[in-house]
Amino acid sequence: MKGLSFLTASIALVLATHAQAATPPAPQHYSNAAWTQPQKPFRIYGNTYYVGSHGLSAILVTSPRGHILLDGTLPENVPMIEANIRALGFRLEDVKLILNSHPHFDHAGGIAALAHDTGAQVVASAKAAKALKLGGEDPDDPQYGDASPYAKVEHVRIADGGETIKLGPLALTMHPTPGHTPGGTAWTWTSCEQTRCLSMAYVDSIALLTANNGHYRYTDPAHPERIADFRGTIDTLAKLPCDIMIAPHPDSINLIEKATQHGGNNPDALIDPNACKAYAAKAQVNLDERIAKENAKSKSPAR
């Protein structure tokens, strides 16, 4: 009987696992309702499409030899992203690679399910891969303790800084941009329409935030690399090939409004070769403010 009850339990577990894969988690209430708000997918430029929610980017770069998806947003958005990919006329099983901006739940929470459903391989920097495998619970994350956990991504192929990931005619280059998280990454590629080819840049978040418990300080003298790394990120951002900048939070650059004005298919509104340089300047401001804030805190009398 013990054997039988074990078998019953095993079947129940298998059924539960399948049920979990088929049923996305119930929508939660996020501070930003746009994160789960449906968004009609649209072409950004050439073979680059927006397939995310209204408030969180997921980007599809397509080719006849397979597609690359950047970011998975939230777990409950997975059916929306999959429907958006299909609505554009593409097949889920043709998504061969999934890349990530940074391994927080609002950009990576859906990656495990998307990798499962498409069969795609997940590719990330070594530091991002570590966080993805931990389901976001990375002790080296400045927001560790506050950042929500998500489904662990079991298999991640490591990409080195400067490495170009290829899939058929597609070639996306990885630029490490640590700061918001240690594994933060910018990805760049080229998309063409007729004879005009443009540099596309998917550029990661640059907000320097820490968990409420304050265990993490960018100015920690034991970790001089934290400031040095972010200074490197600022340099990297300023030098990215960048005709059209895309960000994980589309509202941060009014991406959807610009792209869909005048009824859509309006790439010229998105072209701004100065966008990444301006973003780098903003990152410098964020760093200066963060350093000032932490220095002020360390000088204030202990309570």
Rounded least distance, CB 104 to Zn ion, Å? 3
- Minimum CB–partner distance for residue 249 and Zn ion (Å): 9
Region of residue 252 (phi > 0: left; psi between -120 and 50: alpha; otherwise: beta): alpha
CA 56 – CA 242 distance, rounded (Å) = 20
Taking alpha carbons only, the member of 182, 68, 179 closest to residue 122 is 68
Closest to Zn ion by CB, 67 or 104 = 104
Cα distance between residue 79 and residue 91, in whole Å: 14
* Span near Zn ion by CB under 5 A; candidates 51-59, 64-72, 102-110, 111-119: 102-110
Which is nearer to Zn ion, 104 or 175 (by Cβ)? 104
User: Nearest approach, Cβ of 103 to Zn ion (angstroms)?
Assistant: 8
> CA 37 from chain center: how many Å?
17
Q: Are 34 and 251 in contact (CB under 8 A)?
A: yes
Among the residue ranges 101-109, 168-176, 189-197, 231-239, the one whose residues contact Zn ion (CB under 5 A): 101-109
| Number of residues this chain uses to bind Zn ion (CB under 5 A) | 1
Cβ closest to Zn ion, residue 146 vs residue 288: 146
- Rounded to a whole number of angstroms, the minimum distance from the CB of residue 138 to Zn ion is 12
Nearer to Zn ion, 104 or 130 (CB): 104
Angle made by CA atoms 276, 251, 67, in degrees to the nearest 5: 70
Report the distance separating Cα 14 and Cα 211, nearest Å.
37
Chain position whose Cβ is nearest to Zn ion? 104
| Interatomic CA distance for residues 150 and 22, integer angstroms | 16
Q: How far is the CB of 301 from Zn ion (least distance, A)?
A: 32
Q: Which residue's CB is nearer to Zn ion, number 96 or number 104?
A: 104
State the chain's maximal CA–CA distance in angstroms: 71
- Asked if residue 104 binds Zn ion (CB under 5 A), the reply is yes
Task: Give the interface segment with Zn ion, choosing from 33-41, 51-59, 99-107, 223-231 (CB under 5 A).
Answer: 99-107
- Amino acid identity, position 206: I
Q: Decide whether 47 or 73 has the Cβ nearer to Zn ion.
A: 73
Contact window for Zn ion (CB under 5 A) among 13-21, 96-104, 238-246, 291-299 = 96-104
Burial letters for 249-276: b for 16+ Cβ neighbours within 10 Å, e otherwise? bbeebebbebbbeeeeebbeebeeeebb
Provide the binding-site residues for Zn ion, judged by CB under 5 A. 104
